[in-house]
């Protein structure tokens, strides 16, 4: 009757986090409240992506709706929702979003101890054709919210206290690590609750998939080119399959569950690659490491990077431990 118990004893995300927090007598409940506000943002974006409330949302970005109003681009709309939810949680002091050039310093009267860095809508090229997109977030903590500066977020990713993403796909899935272990929750739309469906995710030690935008191959450096060549023409086993969605959230979600490697390398035109350190590279590297994988920049462990500015970029290679190890050896041999 275990299945029966599962059906009637629902482990919601809130309940899960409360349970975890109760193991730490010093915890204040602030983290639970912060997460509830992030979850609200995710539910809003999920509903918007599914075109709930069609009348006001239908139409592509830039179009004009029936009321003659300009449609807000989905990424701009999502950003507004997250910023407002995070500020009104009264638990944040600094926000960094892909969509805002400058960091937001929360009004001192509304401040709390958390800094949240986020990509409100990831995979923008996939929005208008219904392919999976997502939200990515990372969380830092400060000692004194009355004495903060940008340096509180220009911190190596290993200093994050939590990170996660929500994927708006065939179902809405939120994957979270609060520092130990990685858990996946699926939104039950009839309840409006995220239910624990993927407890303690561990990435397979080796995978059969590589994931990279091969259209950039002519500009790759040697180690990346060699690695991808080995994926296609291995001397010691079957070739790997290629899967590339072009939404980091979806590509990383598959990598976490099935194993393999995701690459966004540097190239001659983009010496720092494309992905942003604070709100793309760090949260994903945090999750991959907590699930037993590795994340590498081509030079160092990704979580050791110190971003020079809030929108700084870095090449990144992340995934199954053995696959990333193989790539690291190629970079080491290049030196």
Residues near ligand AHG (CB under 6 A): 98, 119, 122-125, 213, 246-248, 274
Residue with Cβ nearer ligand AHG (193 or 251): 251
Distance, CA of 61 to CA of 114 (rounded, Å): 32
> Which partner from the list ligand AHG, Mn ion, none does 323 bind, CB cut-off 5 to 8 Å by kind?
none
Burial classification of residue 247, based on how many CB atoms lie within 10 Å of its CB (0-12 exposed, 13-18 middle, 19 or more buried): buried
What ranges make up the beta strands (E) of 43-171?
92-97, 104-105, 114-122, 133-141, 162-168
Q: Cβ–Cβ contacts within 10 Å for residue 283, how many?
A: 28
Distance, CA of 166 to CA of 38 (rounded, Å): 10
Distance, CA of 120 to CA of 225 (rounded, Å): 32
Residue with Cβ nearer ligand AHG (183 or 216): 216
How far apart are CB 276 and ligand AHG at their closest, in Å?
Answer: 8
How far apart are CB 98 and Mn ion at their closest, in Å?
Answer: 5
How far apart are CB 183 and Mn ion at their closest, in Å?
Answer: 22
Distance, CA of 289 to CA of 283 (rounded, Å): 10
How far apart are CB 78 and ligand AHG at their closest, in Å?
Answer: 10
Residue with Cβ nearer ligand AHG (13 or 277): 277
How far apart are CB 246 and Mn ion at their closest, in Å?
Answer: 10
Per the CB < 8 A criterion, the answer to whether 261 and 318 are in contact is: yes
Residue with Cβ nearer ligand AHG (141 or 250): 250
> Which partner from the list Mn ion, ligand AHG, none does 27 bind, CB cut-off 5 to 8 Å by kind?
none
What ranges make up the beta strands (E) of the chain?
92-97, 104-105, 114-122, 133-141, 162-168, 172-177, 183-188, 193-198, 209-211, 241-242, 261-264, 294-296, 316-319
Residue with Cβ nearer Mn ion (45 or 324): 45
Three-class SS state of 230? helix
Q: Which residues bind Mn ion (CB under 5 A)?
A: 98, 119, 121-122, 124
Residue with Cβ nearer ligand AHG (98 or 289): 98
> Which partner from the list Mn ion, ligand AHG, none does 246 bind, CB cut-off 5 to 8 Å by kind?
ligand AHG
> Which partner from the list ligand AHG, Mn ion, none does 112 bind, CB cut-off 5 to 8 Å by kind?
none
> Which partner from the list Mn ion, ligand AHG, none does 171 bind, CB cut-off 5 to 8 Å by kind?
none
Distance, CA of 303 to CA of 319 (rounded, Å): 14
How far apart are CB 214 and ligand AHG at their closest, in Å?
Answer: 9
């Amino acid at each position: 009757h275990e299945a029966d118990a599962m059906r009637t004893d629902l482990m919601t995300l809130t309940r899960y986090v409360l349970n975890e927090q109760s193991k730490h007598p010093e915890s204040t409940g602030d983290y639970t409240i912060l997460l509830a506000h992030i979850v609200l943002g995710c539910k809003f974006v999920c509903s918007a992506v599914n075109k709930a409330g069609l009348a006001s949302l239908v139409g592509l970005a830039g179009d004009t709706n029936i009321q003659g109003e300009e449609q807000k681009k989905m990424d701009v709309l999502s950003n507004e929702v997250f910023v407002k939810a995070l500020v009104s949680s009264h638990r944040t002091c600094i926000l960094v979003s892909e969509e805002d050039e400058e960091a937001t310093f929360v009004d001192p009267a509304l401040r709390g101890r958390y800094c949240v860095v986020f990509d409100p809508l990831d995979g923008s090229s996939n929005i208008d054709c219904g392919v999976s997109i997502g939200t990515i977030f990372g969380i830092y903590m400060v000692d004194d919210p009355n004495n903060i500066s940008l340096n509180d977020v220009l911190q190596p990713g290993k200093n994050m206290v939590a990170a996660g993403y929500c994927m708006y796909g065939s179902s809405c899935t939120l994957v979270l690590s609060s520092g130990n272990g990685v858990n996946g929750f699926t939104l039950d739309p009839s309840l409006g609750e995220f239910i624990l469906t993927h407890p303690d995710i561990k990435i397979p030690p080796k995978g059969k998939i590589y994931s990279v935008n091969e259209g950039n191959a002519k500009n790759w450096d040697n180690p990346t080119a060699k690695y991808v060549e080995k994926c296609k023409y291995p001397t010691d086993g079957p070739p790997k399959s290629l899967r590339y969605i072009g939404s980091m959230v979806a590509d990383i979600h598959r990598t976490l569950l099935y194993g393999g490697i995701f690459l966004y390398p540097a190239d001659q035109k983009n010496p720092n690659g494309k992905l942003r350190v604070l709100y793309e590279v760090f949260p994903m590297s945090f999750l991959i490491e907590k699930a037993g994988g590795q994340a590498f920049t081509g030079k160092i462990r990704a979580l050791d990077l110190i971003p020079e500015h809030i929108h700084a970029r870095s090449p990144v290679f992340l995934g199954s431990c053995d696959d990333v190890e193989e790539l690291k050896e190629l970079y080491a041999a290049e030196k």
